[in-house]
Amino acid sequence: MGLLRRQLGPFFLATAILTVGCNRHIDKLTSQAGHQTWFQKIQSDVLNRSCVGCHKGPSAKAGVQLDTYDHVRFGTLKDGTTPLITPGDCDNSGLALILRMNFMPPPDLNKPLDVASKKMIENWIDAGADKDALAPGTEVPTPPTPVEPPKPPVSENDSRATYKFLAEKVFKDCRFCHSGPDAQNGLDFTDYNSLIASKKIVKGVPTESPLYQRLLQGGDDPMPPDGQLSPDTLKLIHNWILSGAKDN
Ligand code: HEC
Ligand code: HEC
């Protein structure tokens, strides 16, 4: 308060003593695209309406410019040293004190600022005077959660029942244990030919194909080892074998 006291003289000091301290611990909300920030609200509701007319550009009164965030955030009182804003501390913020004392807007010409406007500025300063903070109570719409397109049930002629689809979506995860000369049980998912050569598929007859039979087994000993394939995937494998296990 030292500098400010010198600056404003005894009358303002007396007023300051009567006023209550600022609020602390104001929760911060961070801006999201398309939202008016707390500072923008202060600009439109208070500064632009009641201050900027005399506090803008080279002829700003007392050299105090209040037209942009940076001017407000990093400006000083006319002494050139007392900060307009000390983030988190409105008791040491020239802007808040000047308003609290009803020094501005000049009382002879204007109605004093309403209490809510002063409070809004004090709270914003106490919350850190961030540029992108949102005013408390601002409705932040939750971003829409992407809706998964409903999976069509697997039908007898599901177009995904192809070798290409199964190789990309299923068999590639099997190659870790089932590929090359050391393929587990000689079952080789490297490519179509190696798979057919493994003789675990009876074309056209899923129920007699060891590949399909083994995958149906769930319980304590599923294949793949980390958990049985989904019913839909099993059905696609079934249908692919049923329609001849082609290289399609
Ligand atoms: C009608 C013109 C006018 C309006 C409107 C006005 N001011 Fe001022 N302001 C002045 C003048 C003139 C001074 C210089 C006063 C002095 O030097 O004693 C001043 C000085 C100031 C100072 C510096 C005080 C100091 O002692 O360093 C601040 C900060 C300030 N005004 C803030 C505001 C705010 C905030 C508003 C809006 C709520 C506002 N003013 C509205 C004319 C205005
Ligand atoms: C971590 C290693 C591992 C992975 C990954 C793995 N398997 Fe196996 N698989 C085995 C072992 C070990 C066996 C032999 C023992 C058994 O049948 O439980 C086996 C056996 C099989 C059999 C039985 C073959 C026969 O001789 O009858 C089939 C079919 C099979 N796996 C399919 C798959 C498919 C399909 C996947 C991928 C979706 C897969 N496995 C992933 C280790 C694995």
d(CA 160, CA 162): 5
Q: Is residue 226, in this structure, part of any structural domain at all?
A: yes
**Residue of 126, 130, 133 lying closest to 35 (CA atoms):** 133
Tokens of 143: 């971003």
Q: Tell me: do 13 and 59 sit in the same domain.
A: yes
Looking at per-residue pLDDT, the higher value among 99 and 144 belongs to 99
Range of the domain at 197: 163-242
Q: Tell me: do 40 and 126 sit in the same domain.
A: yes
Q: pLDDT, tens digit, for every residue of 218-237?
A: 888 999 999 999 999 999 99
Instruction: Looking at the CA of residue 105, tell me the nearest atom of ligand 1.
Output: 41
Instruction: Give the pLDDT mean for 158-163.
Output: 91
Question: Residue 113: what pLDDT?
Answer: 87
Q: Tell me: do 7 and 84 sit in the same domain.
A: yes
Q: pLDDT, tens digit, for every residue of 46-60?
A: 999 999 999 999 999
Confidence of residue 33 (pLDDT cuts 50, 70, 90): low
Name the pTM for this structure: 0.50
Q: Is residue 218, in this structure, part of any structural domain at all?
A: yes
User: Residues enclosing ligand 1, CB less than 6 A?
Assistant: 7, 50-51, 53-55, 61-62, 64, 66, 77-78, 94-95, 98-99, 104-106, 109-110, 113
Q: Is residue 43, in this structure, part of any structural domain at all?
A: yes
Question: Residue 191: what pLDDT?
Answer: 96
**Residue of 245, 223, 228 lying closest to 161 (CA atoms):** 245
**Residue of 4, 199, 197, 194 lying closest to 85 (CA atoms):** 4
d(CA 143, CA 16): 45
Provide the CA 71 distance to its chain's centre, in angstroms: 29
Instruction: Give the pLDDT mean for 100-107.
Output: 87
Is residue 14's pLDDT more than 50? no
Q: Tell me: do 122 and 26 sit in the same domain.
A: yes
Q: pLDDT, tens digit, for every residue of 110-124?
A: 778 899 999 999 999
Is residue 194's pLDDT more than 50? yes
Q: Is residue 150, in this structure, part of any structural domain at all?
A: no
Q: Tell me: do 126 and 209 sit in the same domain.
A: no
Nearest residue by C-alpha to atom 15 in ligand 1: 62
